[in-house]
Structure 1
Amino acid sequence: MITSFTAVLDRRLRPDAAAPLAVGFSGGGDSLALLILTLDWARAHGRPVISLTVDHGLNPASAAWTADAVAKARALGAEARALAWTGSKPATGLSAAARAARHALLGEAARAAGARVLLLGHTRDDLAEAAVMRAGGSTVSDPRAWAPSPAWPEGRGVFVLRPLLEVGRVDLRDWLAARGETWLDDPANADPRSARARARRSLAASDAPGGPEEGADRPMEAAPSPFQGGEGWLALARTAPAAHVAAACLCAAGTTRPPRGERLQRLVARIRAGEDFTATLAGARIEAAGEAVSFFREPGEVRRVGPPLVVEKALDPGQPVVWDGRWELTAAEPGLVVRALQGLAARLPAAQRQALKGFPPAARPGLPVVLAPDGTPTCPILAEAKAVRARCLVVDRFEAATGRVDQEPAT
């Protein structure tokens, strides 16, 4: 077990990096084993470890559990932080909402700490449970050994590593018991109202194996294919796999849910047929012409997915702000507001209007424009702007989503 764990970390992490490693630690057996093993690896490589514990606020005892987990992590030698899911909770879809909130809190905390990798303690049993849940009609997917954080934009730049997917839950608990360790057993894991708890009980009753044996560090659905990218747009070859078409829609649109199902299948079929067309899907505008298919943010004030294009957002000096899911902007002075360029191009300085001609027409309306307190517009993508720094997130997000980044980034 330790050998396979170490091999995964050696493969995915940079031993000479100075950035901390973030570990999601609930206090349960899986995450406790993960934290201990990660600390051992990190000490050997001189790397700090930050333990992150999320209190969902769904059980009266959760605050005490969180405090115990923080104390345990610190006793083991990790820096520890408690995170809380606050606010109202949904009456339906609670498990999915809690999972999304957890990923957002973990991703944001990891990024704020300077960590590029967040380790989670999913095991071979989680793969088996996911398969049972899908057989029962759930849309839950398999946890992947390496993937970008699913929280956007909170987890931007953070990758999730699950190094225990080849290990069974019983094996971990036997290993912990041999060390004299104790852990928390969350009663929610046995709650029959939970689909995962029912899947776990079903597997236990059938004495089914804990998951696939072919190895957890499996390749992506499709190998990376060629692409082009610019400020806020992407272009793929017509031969690009469906998973990459879905990712291009997601990233170019700046949304959080990629297209799936029949609509994606129909789009891919039209692309493969060589047809020239324009379409919209999942907040993206798709233009197929010749050998290439380009993906942009869907124009217009209103779209079916995500917020309207022209949304003004105030910029606080020194605080990075993600606007439209595609741009990270940091203002150097107060009183600035960002919105879409749509409708304002004629008011730009002459040099910026000239530079705008070098962009595909469909990409222009979605460029960010910064309004000064007197209303003067400046596009930081078209000209160097001292008042605000802008970084496009589209290409980096697409590269992460399609497996082009397969180990801890250098910076």
Structure 2
Amino acid sequence: MTNAGESRGTALNEALFARLMAPLGPYETAPVLAVGVSGGRDSLALTLLADRWARARGGHVIAFTVDHALRPESAAEAAQVGHWLAGRGIPHTTLTWEGPKPATGLQAAARQARHDLLAAACRARGILHLCLAHHREDQAETVALRLEGGSGADGLAGMAAARALADVRLLRPLLPVSRADLGATCRAFGQPWIDDPSNLMTRYARGRLRREGLARPVDDLLAQAADAGRARAALETAVAVAVAHHVMLAPEGYAVVAADALARLPRPVASRMLAGLAAALGGQPYAPASAAVGRLLAALPGLWTTDGGSLALTLAGCQARRLAGAGGRRLLLLLRQAGRMAPPVTVSGGGARWDGRFQAVGAAGAGLTLGALGTVDARRLAASDGVAFARLPKPVWPTLPAFRRGETLVAVPHLDWAVEPLRPPPALPGRGETWPRLAFRPLSPVAPSPFLPTVEAGLDVMAVVSDAGVII
């Protein structure tokens, strides 16, 4: 633990932190914030500032520490964080990364595990906002590393001040704030902190960068990030407009695109739109590489050739097929690639996420699983009377989510079908068996919200990425 040897900095006051939070909303009337807190000065400063901000608005903060179990002392450090926060009346929970750790790519795997654990904890508690303590120097390091790695404009925009995932919104209100100011904030609260030695380990790229120093001034790197962020925001605005005008996104997890309109769009807009659709419909957390998207765009006209053109093209677990439209319109059907769907998952009391696309929430009977309907059961149901397949493109049928007990199909919610003995009694709420609610909730949004947050002068926040709820 240390408080010494640092530039003194200037502590953040309540008014400045409120200005940092304002453009990242909206928030509930009584906001509940989760904060990822490691025990370092940055995350502890954020936790204390967020707690004061939330309490002033009738809300509260819940702190989560992820113990990666990579150092012998990590469990004791997490317990110390819990002790400190308990003294301030802030609820705290330790989330442990269990299981074997990878031999290579450990830092990336640990970062992903941290995000997964934090998102799951927020989902289980119904928390909408997760605050992370990335700050000014973190942003500059991110841009420097992406420059070194040859990133394009998206990467050089750095970390977004707000980004919505399927389960929670990630908020980074401290991106304009220096590390020294966060240390001063902790001192103003009388809060000690823990320095993690792994942050300076030369086996990791960021650790080497911190030891060696940045090759360019922080201000230059952040100015480059701001320029790239504005370019990214302009492109995302155009993509959102294109999605709204030319895409029909179905709750069954597929999309129909006006192919002729797609061909007329500027290449960067068409590429970004296809990438977002492929990731969302293919159950992927990130958009595919631009080179792969470019190959798909180049190959799409072949779907309409009469001399042996492809029946389907694939990208990131998504397939593209031609679809007949009224009046000779060319329509592009985008849907999940059936052979790459995830195996069934057990639906517990807290629900389940399946295939990176569908979320089941609510009560479930014993032994219920959620998985793909599949070709065999789709054909069997299609041959039955009264099953509402006709409104869906036939390739979509096997990709629909379905509930089973053992090998027995018991419900296909999007077809409004269930085996008769297991239908919930409609006139007896609270009695009998009920089905979990099922919704299309992709891991990544098809398109961002077409706006930058409204900011006050002097506050440099980056582009906001909205959640899947505002796709169109």
TM-score, length basis structure 1? 0.84
How far the C-alpha of 1:208 sits from its partner, in A, is 4.2
Of 146, 156, 171 in structure 1, the residue corresponding to residue 162 of structure 2 is: 146
If you compute each CA radius of gyration, which structure gives the higher value, 1 or 2?
A: 2
Of 362, 366, 381 in structure 2, the residue corresponding to residue 334 of structure 1 is: 366
User: What's the counterpart of residue 353 of structure 2?
Assistant: 322
* Runs of 5+ unmatched residues, structure 1: 150-155
After superposition, residues 307-386 of structure 1 pair within 5 angstroms as 307=342, 311-316=343-348, 318-329=349-360, 330=362, 332-341=364-373, 342-348=375-381, 354-372=387-405, 375-383=408-416, 385=418, 386=424
Matched, 1:293 2:332: yes
User: What's the counterpart of residue 152 of structure 1?
Assistant: none
Secondary structure (helix, strand or coil) at the match of 1:185 reads coil
User: What's the counterpart of residue 205 of structure 2?
Assistant: 195
- In structure 1, give the amino acid aligned to 2:333: S
Map Cα deviations across residues 16-66 of structure 1 (whole Å, 9 max, x no partner).
Answer: 434521001111111112112111210110111100111111111111211
Secondary structure (helix, strand or coil) at the match of 1:60 reads coil
After superposition, residues 168-187 of structure 1 pair within 5 angstroms as 168-187=178-197
Map Cα deviations across residues 293-321 of structure 1 (whole Å, 9 max, x no partner).
Answer: 33200123xx4xx64xxx344444x3412
Determine the C-alpha separation between the residues in 2 that align with 1:17 and 1:235.
37
Matched, 1:403 2:449: yes
Determine the C-alpha separation between the residues in 2 that align with 1:299 and 1:346.
15
Secondary structure (helix, strand or coil) at the match of 2:408 reads coil
How far the C-alpha of 1:81 sits from its partner, in A, is 0.7
Of 256, 279, 282 in structure 1, the residue corresponding to residue 313 of structure 2 is: 279
Contact 1:233 1:294 in 2 (8 A): yes
374 and 232 in structure 1: CA distance in 2 versus 1, 3 angstrom threshold: closer
Secondary structure (helix, strand or coil) at the match of 1:356 reads coil
Determine the C-alpha separation between the residues in 2 that align with 1:261 and 1:217.
18
Determine the C-alpha separation between the residues in 1 that align with 2:469 and 2:381.
37
How far the C-alpha of 1:178 sits from its partner, in A, is 4.4
Matched, 1:108 2:129: no
% identity of equivalent residues: 34
Determine the C-alpha separation between the residues in 2 that align with 1:122 and 1:65.
20
Contact 2:24 2:173 in 1 (8 A): no
How far the C-alpha of 1:215 sits from its partner, in A, is 9.5
Secondary structure (helix, strand or coil) at the match of 1:115 reads coil
Secondary structure (helix, strand or coil) at the match of 1:364 reads helix
315 and 52 in structure 1: CA distance in 2 versus 1, 3 angstrom threshold: closer
407 and 8 in structure 1: CA distance in 2 versus 1, 3 angstrom threshold: farther
How far the C-alpha of 1:388 sits from its partner, in A, is 2.3
How far the C-alpha of 1:104 sits from its partner, in A, is 0.6
Matched, 1:267 2:296: yes
Contact 2:129 2:170 in 1 (8 A): yes
Contact 1:352 1:382 in 2 (8 A): no
User: What's the counterpart of residue 253 of structure 2?
Assistant: 232
- In structure 2, give the amino acid aligned to 1:244: M
210 and 179 in structure 1: CA distance in 2 versus 1, 3 angstrom threshold: farther
291 and 77 in structure 1: CA distance in 2 versus 1, 3 angstrom threshold: farther
Matched, 1:22 2:56: no
Which has the bigger relative contact order, CA under 8 A and spacing at least 6?
2
Contact 1:232 1:392 in 2 (8 A): no
Matched, 1:393 2:393: no
171 and 337 in structure 1: CA distance in 2 versus 1, 3 angstrom threshold: closer
Contact 1:254 1:326 in 2 (8 A): yes
How far the C-alpha of 1:189 sits from its partner, in A, is 1.4
Contact 1:116 1:408 in 2 (8 A): no
User: What's the counterpart of residue 77 of structure 1?
Assistant: 89
Matched residue count? 394
Determine the C-alpha separation between the residues in 1 that align with 2:112 and 2:443.
22
78 and 291 in structure 1: CA distance in 2 versus 1, 3 angstrom threshold: farther
Residues 225-234 or 98-107, more deviating: 225-234
Secondary structure (helix, strand or coil) at the match of 1:286 reads strand
Of 228, 232, 236 in structure 2, the residue corresponding to residue 222 of structure 1 is: 236
Contact 2:442 2:468 in 1 (8 A): no
Greater share of helix residues, 1 or 2? Answer: 2
Secondary structure (helix, strand or coil) at the match of 1:42 reads helix
- In structure 1, give the amino acid aligned to 2:435: V
Secondary structure (helix, strand or coil) at the match of 1:365 reads helix
How far the C-alpha of 1:275 sits from its partner, in A, is 6.9
TM-score, length basis structure 2? 0.74
Determine the C-alpha separation between the residues in 1 that align with 2:368 and 2:111.
35
Residues 137-146 or 195-204, more deviating: 137-146
Contact 2:41 2:182 in 1 (8 A): yes
